[in-house]
Structure 1
Amino acid sequence: MSPRFIGILQIIGAAVCWGTLGLIGTRLHQLHFTSSQVAAVRIVGALAVLLLLLPLFWPYLRNLHWRRLPFLALQSMLGMLGMSWFYFAAVTHAGSAVAVALLYTAPVWSLILARLILGEGIRPVQALLTVLAATGVALTMAGGISAQPVGLLFGLLSGLCYALYGVLGKRAMQGNPPMLVLFTSIAFSALVLLATALPYDAAALLWQMPNKSVWLYALALVLTGTLLPYFLFIKGLEKMPAAQASVFTIIEPLTAVLLATLWLGEHIGVLQALGIALIVAAAAANAVLRPAPKRMPL
């Protein structure tokens, strides 16, 4: 097999893994975990694994300059902590299919924020994609009779956090290898969470839960939904440009929707299905028509 084909398989594998987050989050919610506790398990659990692998990251951490810390911390707060919390809250209140669709409004938010914050222009085709995605959001909301309005709001905010992660985090990526960004993205958010009661409450709930399958969900959240896809994505980026790789990440919302309908039994109405399709189509077209930055972990 050619390196590019292997890279495509790695990117698709990463997207499929990320697509399981909604399913895992729903299962943990059914076991009485709040969205905040799910986010805490994901982030603090990932840090625990990374600390076990510290020798692998130490060469990158030794070369970290203190001036880069504010931007890396900002990237962590928005992309890892903020996005994770809002996304799992959206899964809880709106269902995983709608949540992942609203997460994929991030390219639209990026265009708007790049215009407002960075002063970048918006081309006519980008404006058209914005209208297309906005129409998809409207249809998703119109068809989301079973979804709570607050869940739709959380979904949009997860997309906004993800967009801010890219727009404001451009400077953080300059000169920083992906392995370093992975470690700091998780570490800063985990340290903030460890200063609260959330991870300790989640750990107590894990320990007291009579249904021991909860440990499998927690492990899957940390490994399958977080660390494994990021490593696969890094390896895939070594074999193809980021713009091409971002096209294959569209597999993520498709995976989430498929799991939501087949495994969780979520009902998706005609308007919702059309809205999700429009959002995904706009995200895919955006990835094809403009160079995409390297994607950070969810």
Structure 2
Amino acid sequence: MGGLQVIVAAICWGTLGIFTTYLHQLGFDSVQIAILRVVTAAMMLLMLLPSLWTSIRQLSVGEILQLSLQSLIGVLGMTVCYFIAVNFVGAGIAVSLLYTAPIFSLVLAFFLLKEPITKKSFTLACIAVLGVALTTLSENFTLSWGIVFGLLSGVCYSLYGILGKKALHKHYPPTLVFFSSVVISAIALLLLPMTYQTYAKAFTMPAITWLWVMGLSLVGTVIPFFLYMSALHKLPATKASVFTVFEPFTAIVLSIVLLHQSLNGMQYSGMILILLATLLNSIKLPMQRHRQLTEVDTQV
């Protein structure tokens, strides 16, 4: 049952690129779509506030500041970069570049957490780099910006888990990490006039706009998180992280079937190498690192 929950959660996360593309087609830019996702999801998560209030009150000023950094980089930064990448290179390539996150985690954890890089980890990183190189073949200069933002989304994605690990002690519930990471970004966005302009624009759009917004926030964010956290009570984090490989496969299949986005043979090969490196990375790393990387998966 736990494995099935993770698979369903990964499939839900894999729909993000599809909802993003549909909203792009309606005239929303990447920042506006990020606003719609984060703020709408935060509204849904406010129902958790009573149950988390005790834990929130126990947070120190330093932990709040680190959680804020985690939220603004790991959630808001990742969301904006990923949605920009989807707009430039399509959901299939964008999600593959997003999944370079565990490789960036190896490097960033070495500098920020002083965790050693093993020979196996270095080899997998090289495989992922080769995969990125193949994925970017046949891309012209305009599309190369999509590659840049796709890789930046992977960096932000990896920092979500690393910053969360530095910020929180073990006695804080994982639900608090997700709640704070979304809500803090939403609060920051509410300080911007663009947020209110975006929602005003959404209210003037066809009704189907809200179907895509709800899909982005509920199906692509809130539901998969709760499924994933429920699954972690039933199976080890190591196994859960392996099942999340269904996310990029879902995004790739949906982009081909629903959006008719085509890829060449080299790009398929590159995507396979990236996913293979990620999968082997999940299987080989120790449990402590797995918790860090699987925390990353709970944002998107």
Output the TM-score relative to the length of structure 2: 0.93
- Structure 2: distance between partners of 1:55 and 1:169: 22
Which residue does the alignment assign to 2:46?
A: 51
Q: Which moved more, 1:143-152 or 1:35-44?
A: 143-152
Identify the residue that residue 198 of structure 1 maps to in structure 2: 194
**Equivalent runs, 1:138-287 vs 2, <5 Å:** 138-145=133-140, 148-174=143-169, 175-209=171-205, 211-287=206-282
1:24 touches 1:217 (CA, 8 Å); kept in 2? yes
Displacement of 1:141: 0.6
How far off is 1:297 after superposition? 1.4
What root-mean-square deviation, in Å, do the aligned CA atoms of Structure 1 and Structure 2 show?
1.6
Count of residues paired in the alignment: 292
Mapped to 1, the partners of 2:181 and 2:113 lie a distance apart of 23
- Displacement of 1:7 after TM fit? 0.6
1:243 Cα deviation after fit: 1.4
For 1:104, the aligned partner's letter is Y
Q: Deviations over 1:153-197 (max 9, x none)?
A: 000000011112222321223232111112111111011111112
Read off the aligned partner of 1:118 and give its amino acid letter.
L
Q: Secondary structure at the match of 1:238?
A: coil
CA 110–192 in structure 1, closer or farther in 2 if over 3 Å, else same: same
Contact 2:164-2:177 at 8 Å conserved across structures? no
Q: In 2, distance between residues paired with 1:28 and 1:145?
A: 24
Shift of 1:118: 2.9
Unaligned residue ranges in structure 1 (runs of 5+): 1-5
State the alpha-carbon separation in 2 of the partners of residues 173 and 278 from structure 1.
33
Could you give the per-residue CA deviations for residues 99-131 of structure 1, whole angstroms, max 9, x where no partner exists? 100000011111111223333221111111011
In percent, how many aligned pairs have the same letter? 43
TM-score (norm 1): 0.93
> How far apart are the structure 2 equivalents of 1:20 and 1:143?
25
Post-superposition shift, 1:52?
Answer: 4.0
> Taking structure 1 as reference, are residues 54 and 117 closer, same or farther at Cα in structure 2, changes over 3 Å only?
closer
Where in structure 2 are the equivalents of 1:37-48 lying within 5 Å?
37-48=32-43
Structure 2 distance, partners of 1:32, 1:151, is 18
Q: In 2, Cα distance between the equivalents of 1:61 and 1:168?
A: 17
Shift of 1:145: 5.0
Distance 1:36 1:115 in 2: 31
Match of 1:18 among 13, 19, 22: 13
